[in-house]
Amino acid sequence: MQGNNRILLGMSGGLDSTMSALLLKKQGYQVIGLTLKTWHLHPEKYEEELQKASSLAQKLNIEHSILDISRSFREEVVDYFCNEYQIGRTPNPCNRCNPIIKWPWLIQKAEELNCSHVATGHYVQKVKENGRWYVKKGADPSKDQSYFLWNLSQKILEKALFPLGNLTKKEVRQMALDHGLKETARKQESMGVCFLGGTNYREFLAQKQENNELTIHPGEIVDEEGNKLGTHRGLAFFTIGQKKGLALPDKKFFVKEMEPDTNRIIVSKTASLSTATLSLQEFNLTPDLQENKKYQVNIRIRGIDKVPSLPGFITLHSNKLKVDFEEEAWGITPGQSIVFYQKDTVIGGGLVKP
C-alpha cells in the first residue's frame, strides 16, 4: 500500500459500518471511526446506540470519537422534513442529509485527521468514467442504496469508499458471525426515518404541533369542481392517493392534489394518479449529456427495492429537465426524489416540484 493509508469511517454502531471497519483493517488501512451524533426523537435510546458504536470500535481496536452535529442536523434536516410536510410535499430526509450534512462533516473531519478517504457502510459501488466519478448500484439488489446518493458532489465521491459494495447482506452477516460478533450480526435493521426511531411521522408532527413547535392549519376538503365536502386537520397528515383519514361519508374519495396556497385538499373518485411526463427544475446531472438530445434511462421513483425502476427518457432543455416515462408512474408526489440510471450507474436525479 502506497501513500496515506488512514481512512475515516462513519460508524453508526450497526452491522454494516462495523463490518466495513473489519474489511478495511484486513486490507491494511488504519481505520479511524467517527460517529456523527444527530438530533433524535428518543435521546435515551439513541444514546445507547452511540455507546454501542464506541464499544464495537474498542472491540475492533480502532480509534473512535463522537462528533455532536445535532444542531445543524436539526436545522437542515429535521426542520426541512417538517416544513415540507406542512406544505403538502413528501420529503426524503436522506437525500437532504447526505450532500449537506453527513458527507461534508465526514470530509471535513477526514481532512483534520489527515485521512485520505472517507468510508461508509452503504451498499453501493463507485466507478470512474472519462475522469468523472459515478455511484453504481451495489451487488445486492435487495440492499442497493444508490437512490440516496444521487446528489453527491465530485469532491465527496473522489474521497468516498464503499467497502460493502460488492457484497450481499447475507455475506456481511456471516462475516460478523465468523468474527464472533453474534449480537451485531443478528441485530434488527432500523427502517424508516433515522431520527424518528420507529415513530410514525404523523405522530411526530402531531406531537410537535401539540408542543407549539409547529403550526399546522386545518383547511377544506373539496372535490374537483371546488365543492366543499369536509375539513382536514392539516396538509402535513396527508399524501397523494390517501383514502384513510379523510372522514368523508363517501369512502371512495382519495387525495388527488394538495394546494399549499389555499390549504385545500382536492379529492376525487376517478382521477388518474399516473404520470407520463415531468419537468424538473432542481436536478443534478452528469455534464456529458447534450442539450435537446433524448437519452434512454431507467428511472427509480422510490428508494425501496420492492418498487422497480421504470424505463423512460430524459431531455435537457436549458435549466429544465424533461422526464418521459414509457410506462406511466403511479403516485409521484411533490418533494420526492427521482433518480436516473444507465445500466447500473447513477447519471443524475432531481426533486419533483408542484
pLDDT in tens, 184-229: 999 888 778 999 999 999 999 999 999 999 999 999 999 999 999 9
Query: Same fold for the domain at 6-189 and the one at 274-351?
Result: no
Q: Which pLDDT does position 1 carry in this prediction?
A: 43
Q: Which pLDDT does position 308 carry in this prediction?
A: 85
Annotated catalytic residue 97: yes
pLDDT in tens, 84-143: 999 999 999 999 999 999 999 999 999 999 999 999 999 999 999 999 999 999 999 999
Backbone angles phi, psi at 41, to 5 degrees: -65, -30
Local confidence band at 269 (pLDDT 50, 70, 90 cut-offs)? very high
Q: How far apart are CA 262 and CA 274, in angstroms?
A: 24
For the residues of 104-168, what is the DSSP string, one character each? Answer: HHHHHHHHHTT-SEEE---SEEEEEETTEEEEEE-S-TTT--GGGGTT--HHHHHHEE-TTTTS-
Q: H-helix or E-strand containing 175?
A: helix 169-178
For 217-268, CATH number? 2.30.30.280
Backbone angles phi, psi at 271, to 5 degrees: -60, 145
**Nearest residue to 141 (alpha-carbon basis) of 27, 325, 4, 306:** 306
Buried residues in 77-113 as b, exposed as e (16+ CB within 10 A):
bbebbbebbbbbbbbbbbbbbbbebbbbbbbebbeee
Q: pTM (2 decimals)?
A: 0.94
Q: At what angle do helices 79-86 and 201-210 cross, to 10 degrees?
A: 90
Q: Which pLDDT does position 305 carry in this prediction?
A: 67
Torsion-angle region of residue 176: left (phi > 0), alpha (psi -120 to 50) or beta? alpha
Annotated catalytic residue 194: yes
For 274-351, CATH number? 2.40.30.10
Could you say which of 82, 94, 115, 194 is catalytic?
194
Name the residue ranges covered by the structural domains of the chain: 6-189, 217-268, 274-351
- What letter does residue 215 receive in the DSSP assignment? -
pLDDT in tens, 315-354: 999 899 999 999 999 999 999 999 999 999 999 999 998 7
Cell readout for 132 is: 468523472
Could you say which of 82, 94, 97, 115 is catalytic?
97
Q: Is the pLDDT of residue 2 over 50?
A: no
For 6-189, CATH number? 3.40.50.620
